[in-house]
Amino acid sequence: RCNYGGKASQNGRSMHQTASQRVFEVSRFVSSTPTSIRRKQSMSTSISAIATGACTRSAEDVTRLIKRRVEERDAWIGPAQPTLSLVLKTMWQTGGSFSPTVPSKENLDDVFPVQTLDWEQIVNPPDPSRLQVTWLGHASLLVQIDGRNILADPVFNDRASPVRWAGPLRYRPPPCTLQELLEKITIDAVCISHNHYDHLCYDTLKYIVATTASKDIKFVVPLGLREWLQKHVTSDHHDIRELDWHESTSIAGGSLTITSVPMKHWSNRTGDRDETLWCGYVMESNVSNKKFLFPGDTAWFDGLLDIGKKYGPFDLAAIPIGAYEPREFMKSSHINVEEAVRMKTAIQAKKAVPIHWGTFPLTTEPVMEPREKLIELMGDDDSFRPWLIGETRHS
């Protein structure tokens, strides 16, 4: 089932899935940290040319640059894959399954209800100069800056999976259907952080490009994903901006700048591990000077401090808080809640929205644990507190 047309799916149940049912991608990296992030100077094309959307790299240049970034990441976190003993240990500890126990729909409706969207606030923001963000579930966000509407990692499918009959099953529905969203507002850009199934949804993107106004949407993607979009989703008239780390592109007549920044992660769709890049995005208004950071996925690395120094402070940042257990296995791919709190300080974010939790059962921690830990760690500080799916806040 997909949450596209008509009323939003209210399928709140999640089946406890066995290992054979899961579609779970295993990171091959171990945790470490870099000393700094250095901007590469030997770009094959000028950043100003890329920013206009008028210049594209050759396939050979894209491959070469991605390989360089993979080597850079490997220098941060070490060259080894998880050992066979670690894999076997993890399988033994989890009983062969990465599925947590998901509460009943009735319980979730009580403790973690999906909030009805405030369409008036979304369609007519009370102060267009403010940065306004709506959490659509997991890592999907609607970002509104100076009257411009950006979708970040939109996923409206019921499963984060290459197939519809297996893989992580959504246990909290989105707050609206994609059809409702696209009928209410005009989307100016779609930003994709990387190609994992819980961040890059084929069906969602196909639905977006099938809309009549889709030809005006800008797609902002990391290196390597232009080719995938052109092959599977878009047509020749779509504007795809493909960025290396620290490259920028402008939309909305130059009023909004989107910059790709490094994150400590990896990519894999189906047998194409690290053949495309992964990234976060700095979104900065050139009118109100509001700044927002969308990281996609990341593990902890000292480069987050460099991002704060180079691009911060941020008025608001999205920070992942879920999918972190078993820790020994996941620490090279995802931050945990303690690291998420450190990340807010490192990137110099005034406020933060917790993402990457509360939607798909990806790893073994109890599904409500990230929220409970964040509340405990932040205490009376409401600058980084759990949101409800469908909640809209501004900065």
Task: Label residue 393 by pLDDT band (50, 70, 90).
Answer: very high
Hey, which bits of the chain come out as E strands? 131-137, 140-145, 148-152, 189-191, 218-222, 239-243, 248-251, 256-261, 280-285, 291-294, 316-320, 352-355, 392-394
> Mean per-residue pLDDT for 122-146?
95
> Mean per-residue pLDDT for 33-41?
37
pTM of the model: 0.86
Q: What is the pLDDT of residues 218-244, one digit of tens each?
A: 999 999 999 999 999 987 778 999 999
Q: Write the DSSP symbol of residue 297.
A: S
Task: Label residue 213 by pLDDT band (50, 70, 90).
Answer: low
Peptide linkage before 313 cis (omega within 30 of 0): yes
